[in-house]
Structure 1
């Protein structure tokens, strides 16, 4: 079971990074962009590590507001939930 969860997380974060890269390329070429809601949705369902890494690697959406605030809020909520799940009861 854990193998499938790890594999799913790797695939999801890889897909998230790919979509950020594609959006960056589309921005450079002046083509139709990937909606920010799609990128944030990927982060929300578990792709936030990939989103943060992609922002850093591709220098994309690093100053865009309110996108940056929403992404960081998603990350903080996920970290809080993760800590809550791992704390002993």
Structure 2
């Protein structure tokens, strides 16, 4: 969705049409579309040097990386991967 929004915004920009607000593009990145946003930046060369968009996108990506690391550590600390593995093994052996 974020990728599509960026491509659409680029097309609107080149035609002089009403644009998609940067706030909307950044919100799409924040809710999980950061990879699509970055990919669109690279592929269609859109908003690659635009500030503060660029800096805010970098902050969003950093926040997402920190969140993933924190969740990964939390799962390891409470041994969720081991509990999940034991559940899968139990199911494959016919247990419940």
TM bucket, shorter chain = 0.7 to 0.9
Residues 19-73 of structure 1 show CA distances to partners (whole Å, capped at 9, x for unaligned) of 1000000010011100000000000111111111111111000000000000010
Kindly report the root-mean-square deviation, in angstroms, between the aligned alpha carbons of the 2 structures: 0.6
Whole-Å separation in 1 of the counterparts to 2:27 and 2:4: 14
Please give the TM-score of this superposition, normalised by the length of structure 2: 0.76
Aligned counterpart, 1:66: 52
Deviation above 4 Å: which 4+ runs of structure 1? none
Unaligned stretches of 5+ in structure 1?
Answer: 1-14
Aligned counterpart, 2:42: 56
Aligned counterpart, 1:42: 28
2:18 paired residue among 32, 36, 49: 32
Please give the TM-score of this superposition, normalised by the length of structure 1: 0.82
Which structure has the larger Rg over C-alpha atoms?
2
RCO comparison, higher one (Cα < 8 Å, 6+): 1
Unaligned stretches of 5+ in structure 2?
Answer: 78-96
Q: CA deviation at 1:16?
A: 0.9
* Equivalenced residues, count: 75
